[in-house]
Structure 1
Amino acid sequence: MTHNLTELLSKIFGFEEFKGNQKEIIQSLLAGHDTFVLMPTGSGKSLCYQLPALIMEGTAIIVSPLIALMKNQVDALRETTGSNDIAHVLNSSLNKAQLDQVYHDVSAGETKLLYVAPESLGKAENIEFFRQVKISFFAIDEAHCISEWGHDFRPEYRKIRPVVDEIGRRPIIALTATATPKVEHDIRKNLGILDGKIFKSSFNRPNLYYSVEKKGEDVNARIIRFIRKRPNKSGIIYCMSREKVMNLSKLLQMNGIKALPYHAGLDAKERSANQDAFLSEECRVIVATIAFGMGIDKPDVRYVIHYDMPKSLEGYYQETGRAGRDGGEGYCLAFYNEKDIQKLENFMQGKPIAEQEIGRQL
């Protein structure tokens, strides 16, 4: 079964050509191979499973860790294809009527991509349902969540492979933007795709400028000056604590900067509204904990500021990688001081010894 992939890319997504090794990855999946993809943030990972899902028979199951990320991608796909049934989300936020609609559209063969939280994938009633429908493949997004050596470990990710076996074995594609060799091996071993095809892209982003400065008493004033020098430019500021997020966003607002907070403690409605305001440019700056930004598709973020030291180098790479996704310039500014290191060490107290060891290495 041959497809003119470039023609389909243009017709469905409006792009004239593939980036990097997107085409080879898609061909690997279409040929039924298990596939591991290591690709920097912003180089078009999601296209690697979206296009094959639209081509292949059946429904692709996309396992993703964040509800905001799923909603973002589903909305974009519906808009691109002009169909509301083409993509759905299956997670704990749905009510009974919405759930029935999802089941109906998948059973009818209307839905090509079903975004599922890892917890929902393993529910008995969902496993039973998936066994009765045609599944094209499984895509595991943010696959570094599988590894205890990763910067964003989630235990429920380690249960994905047994669930896939229960549903019925189909090709698996695992995608991540951050993985050391150890994390990569852990992902492939845990998913049982050690024999799969491997694709890795260069991680050099020449359009990003990195700067690290010592944090002084005047840090807030410096950030305000920095933002004012870039009027009408979008940026993200990462803070370690929710309290800091709230205080800094208020301070920026008081100084006439359109800023909004984003962290896991806000209710879902407010988080979603703030994210949408940022995407639609009603607000220029999002002040956030690291919960923000996984899979946020805003290509013209011009700067990423780390108010506090990032938790790990991997995490830092991924967070700063949200700048300049359109190929335009991105300024990455990080502030550091000794207190931040102490805070990070305090976070690890009381955790299992193995986890503390991993944390120190990261």
Structure 2
Amino acid sequence: QPRAGQVEAIKRIVFRHGDVILVAWTGYGKTLVFQTVSLIMKEYVTIQICPLTRLGQNQHDALIGVPGLRPLLIADETQKSMWCEVAQGKYTHVILGPEQATQDRFYTLFRDSAFNQRLAMVAIDELHMVHQWKEFRTSYPNLYQIRGMIPNAVPWFGCTATLSKQAQDFVLDKAGFREEGRHTGQLAFIRATVDRPNIAYIVSPLDKGYIIAARHYLLAQAIELGMSRDEAVKAIRRYDADTRPDDKQRLYDDFAGEQSPCRIMFATVALGMGMDIRDVRRVVQFGAIASGDLADLIQRFGRAARDGKTAAKAYFFVPYWYFKSLG
């Protein structure tokens, strides 16, 4: 059953009523907006900007299974012929990072009047990252430049589960969205709760170093699942920025597979953001968030129970001094 926020966002985009920012809980189905707009406007192309290749790959795989849609994931190694196919309108959905969206090759496309007339929308997935990663993903604050290259009627869509007041102000200034208002062509905010009542949150102190505590906890969880120690070691995998690109897909597929022996993933945000594996029952954060941003924690815990029905637990292990600092 479509949610009211999804329907409202789709209507505004398809009927060219204006820009949309959708803020809703993790697992709400925000990406359904991308899919539905592309499905309704098959003769047009949606440009979707994603912060991580892994997330873009997930979106691509979801779209490729929808009859009539022709998605393309653009990476640094994308062949020149594929760029030509984008210009010719072969694809209904183009997924890329902010760096690719703001490079000269894509600017040339945006200045092409024939290509512009085929634009359904420009979408920014995980919109909060425009602010959060502005220091080292310096293309994010330049997204507003694209707005001046495309027709006024083309709507912009952004979605996220977390958007603080500070992040919102930055996004409205730098990401290309129009002024908020009720008139045609202006920006509409659609907000739903970010609460996840099916997730229980547990905060507990750490009395060991992070790595030692994590190792002990993960082994204990595997053994609790009925595994021997040797089986437990095989059940735990690691996924981070140092994981080789050709191993990332294999690890993700292993973890997502229902019959896979890989049941526990020791990972960084490189895997956590936007991951849509429906049967994750526990998410554990060891140590305080480096950024100090509560939005990071909400995003990570939001990987649990993505079906919105199954009960799950989110653990936050922090050192004793953290509790003392809170009084």
**TM bucket by the smaller chain?**
0.7 to 0.9
TM-score by length of 2: 0.83
CA distance in 2: counterparts of 1:330 and 1:301, whole angstroms: 8
Q: Does 1:136 align with 2:115?
A: no
In the alignment, the residues of structure 2 paired with residue 262 and residue 221 of structure 1 have an alpha-carbon distance, to the nearest angstrom, of 18
Identify which of 288, 296, 299 aligns with 1:318.
299
* Structure 1: unaligned runs, 5 residues or longer: 1-16, 233-251, 342-362
Please give the alpha-carbon distance, in whole angstroms, between the structure 1 residues aligned to 2:203 and 2:77: 40
State the partner residue of 1:240: none
In the TM superposition, residue 230 of structure 1 has moved relative to its aligned partner by 4.2
Q: CA deviation at 1:200?
A: 0.5
Matched, 1:204 2:167: no
Question: Contact (CA 8 Å) 1:64, 1:116: kept in 2 or not?
Answer: yes
Q: 1:231 to 1:115 in 2, by over 3 A?
A: farther
Alignment partners' CA distance in 2, 1:126 and 1:292: 27
Partner of 1:348 in structure 2?
A: none
Q: Please give the per-residue CA displacement for 1:320-358, whole angstroms capped at 9, x wherever unaligned.
A: 0110111211111111115789xxxxxxxxxxxxxxxxx
CA drift at 1:117: 1.0
Pair 1:206–1:287, CA change in 2 (3 A): same
Selected match of 1:214 from 195, 202, 205: 205
1:171 aligns with 2:155: yes
Q: State the Cα deviation string for residues 153-207 of structure 1 (Å, max 9, x = none).
A: 7321111110232244421011111111221232123223222011011011100
Residue in 2 that maps onto 1:60 = 46
The answer for the alignment partner of 1:334 in structure 2 is 316
State how far apart, in whole Å, the 2-side matches of 1:206 and 1:215 are: 26
- The answer to which structure, 1 or 2, has the higher relative contact order (CA under 8 A, 6+ apart) is 2
Question: 2: distance between equivalents of 1:256 and 1:293?
Answer: 21
Alignment TM-score, normalising by the size of structure 1: 0.75
**Shift in Å, 1:225:** 2.4
Cα distance in 2 for partners of 1:287, 1:142 equals 22
Whether 1:71 aligns to 2:50 is no
Q: CA deviation at 1:122?
A: 1.3
Deviates more, 1:189-198 or 1:282-291: 189-198
Counterpart code for 1:330: A
For 1:11-69, what per-residue CA distance to the aligned partner results, in whole angstroms no more than 9, with x for missing partners? xxxxxx10352111111111211111111211111111221122124101001111111
Q: 1:80 to 1:58 in 2, by over 3 A?
A: closer
In 2, the alpha carbon distance for the partners of 1:320 and 1:77 equals: 25
Question: What 5-or-longer segments of structure 2 have no aligned partner?
Answer: 181-186
Aligned amino acid, residue 210 of structure 1: Y
Q: Give the AA of the match of 2:278.
A: P
Which of residues 94, 114, 137 in structure 2 aligns to 1:114?
94
Selected match of 2:273 from 294, 298, 305: 294
| Alpha-carbon displacement from aligned partner over 1:132-167 (angstroms, at most 9, x marks no partner) | 31211100111112225x799732111111023224
Q: From 301, 308, 311, give the equivalent of 2:287.
A: 308
Quote how far apart the aligned CAs of 1:256 are. Answer: 4.0
Amino acid at match of 1:66: L
Counterparts of residues 253-264 of structure 1 (less than 5 Å): 255-264=232-241
**How far apart, CA to CA, are the structure 2 residues paired with 1:209 and 1:231?**
23
- Equivalent residues of 2:222, 2:232 under 8 A apart: no
Is 1:277 matched with 2:265? no
Q: In 2, Cα distance between the equivalents of 1:295 and 1:165?
A: 29
Cα pair 2:19 2:177 within 8 Å, conserved: no
Alpha carbon RMSD of aligned pairs, Å? Answer: 2.5
State the match for 1:49 in structure 2: 34
- CA distance in 2 between partners of 1:254 and 1:306 (Å): 23
Tell whether the 8 Å contact from 2:134 to 2:141 is kept in structure 1 after alignment.
Answer: no
Q: Provide the aligned length of Structure 1 versus Structure 2.
A: 299
Q: Alpha carbons of 1:174 and 1:270: their partners in 2 closer, same or farther (altered >3 Å)?
A: same
- Is contact 2:223-2:232 (8 Å) kept? no
Q: In structure 1, how many angstroms separate the alpha carbons of the residues matched to 2:135 and 2:256?
A: 24
- Show the counterpart of 1:160: 143
Q: Could you say which residue in structure 1 is the equivalent of 2:74?
A: 90
